[in-house]
């Protein structure tokens, strides 16, 4: 199977033709191969237009949804990003191809270890991964983030995450019920308030934790 061609077609038909136009995002998708982040028995489906199971009751998101979230983040090359929900590590690697450094939190120890091994195997140094409650944000030390991306559905914006955004920083998060959500883009204003913009409807697994479900 020609994964290179499958990936190119995915970028053209699933991303570009649906309005993903940020060149940094598109180039990251062209470089990072999705089949490396799915179970071996699902490799042939890696570039399909759908989420796929990765074990532990979790999924790797549909490529378009990841592309949309990354585009909404409006990342620059020197940005520092917090990712909530490492999962397979696919989105983490896409992020680090665009931004300078990624902090990522995964609550499931098995998925975290798999992702960490994958980062090492692929030679990524500018990622730090912790196992814990992502709804609390990064608790090991004080860090303010240019961007925060949340890969699970929350009932509302978790306060600790918003507090860790820089002024002008953006958070992209699915908010709604356990069965249906809408992507929200949250920007931290100079007065400390939040600007909220709404994007596509979506369906994510619930964000479990003290400030989630």
**Domain annotation for the chain: domains and CATH numbers:** 3-202 (3.40.50.150)
**Which residue of the set 21, 61, 88, 199 is catalytic?**
61
**Cβ atoms within 10 Å, residue 127:** 22
* DSSP state letter for 205: -
SS3 201: strand
Q: 């489906």: which residue's tokens?
A: 45
pLDDT score of 20 more than 90: yes
146 — alpha (psi -120 to 50), left (phi > 0) or beta? alpha
Q: 């003290």: which residue's tokens?
A: 210
Nearest CA among 33, 53, 31, 56 for reference residue 42: 53
Hey, which residues does 171 pair with through a beta bridge?
148, 186
Average pLDDT over residues 184-191: 98
> Where do the H-state alpha helices sit in 38-108?
63-73, 90-98
Q: 């007065």: which residue's tokens?
A: 191
41 by Cβ neighbours in 10 Å (0-12 / 13-18 / 19+) ranks as exposed
Q: What pLDDT shows up at residue 184?
A: 98
Q: What is the pTM of this model?
A: 0.97
Q: What pLDDT shows up at residue 108?
A: 97
Contact between 25 and 35 (Cβ < 8 Å): no
Over residues 44-102, the pLDDT tens digits come to 999 999 999 999 989 999 999 999 999 999 999 999 999 999 999 999 999 999 999 99
Torsion of CA 98, 58, 205, 136, to 10 degrees: -60
Q: What pLDDT shows up at residue 158?
A: 98
Q: What pLDDT shows up at residue 159?
A: 97
Hey, which residues does 209 pair with through a beta bridge?
none
pLDDT score of 13 more than 90: yes
Sign, Cα dihedral of 9, 10, 16, 18:
positive
Average pLDDT over residues 15-22: 98
> Where do the H-state alpha helices sit in the chain?
3-9, 23-31, 63-73, 90-98, 109-122, 159-163
Confidence of residue 1 (pLDDT cuts 50, 70, 90): confident
Per-chain mean pLDDT for the chain: 97
Report the Cα–Cα distance between both ends of the chain, in Å, rounded: 41
Whether 177 is catalytic: no
Over residues 155-184, the pLDDT tens digits come to 999 999 999 999 999 999 999 999 999 999
Tokens of 95: 């992020």
pLDDT score of 105 more than 90: yes
Over residues 120-134, the pLDDT tens digits come to 999 999 999 999 999
Average pLDDT over residues 136-151: 96
Average pLDDT over residues 141-160: 97
């Amino acid at each position: 199977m020609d994964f290179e061609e499958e990936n190119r077609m995915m970028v053209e038909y699933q991303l570009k033709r649906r309005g993903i136009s940020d060149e940094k995002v598109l180039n990251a998708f062209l470089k990072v191969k999705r089949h490396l982040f799915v179970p071996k028995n699902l490799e042939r489906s890696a570039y399909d237009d759908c989420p796929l199971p990765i074990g532990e009751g979790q999924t790797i998101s549909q490529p378009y949804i990841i592309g949309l979230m990354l585009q909404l983040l409006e990342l620059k090359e020197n940005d520092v990003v917090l990712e909530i929900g490492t999962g397979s590590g696919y989105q983490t690697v896409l992020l680090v191809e665009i931004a300078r450094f990624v902090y990522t939190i995964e609550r499931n120890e098995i998925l975290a270890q798999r992702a960490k091994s994958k980062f090492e195997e692929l030679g990524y140094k500018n990622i730090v991964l912790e196992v814990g409650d992502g709804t609390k944000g990064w608790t090991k030390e004080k860090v303010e983030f240019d961007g925060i991306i949340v890969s699970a559905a929350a009932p509302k914006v978790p306060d600790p995450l918003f507090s860790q955004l820089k002024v002008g920083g953006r958070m992209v998060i699915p908010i709604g019920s356990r069965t249906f959500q809408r992507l929200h883009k949250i920007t931290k204003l100079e007065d400390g308030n939040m600007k909220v913009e709404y994007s596509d409807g979506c369906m994510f697994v619930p964000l479990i934790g003290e400030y989630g479900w």
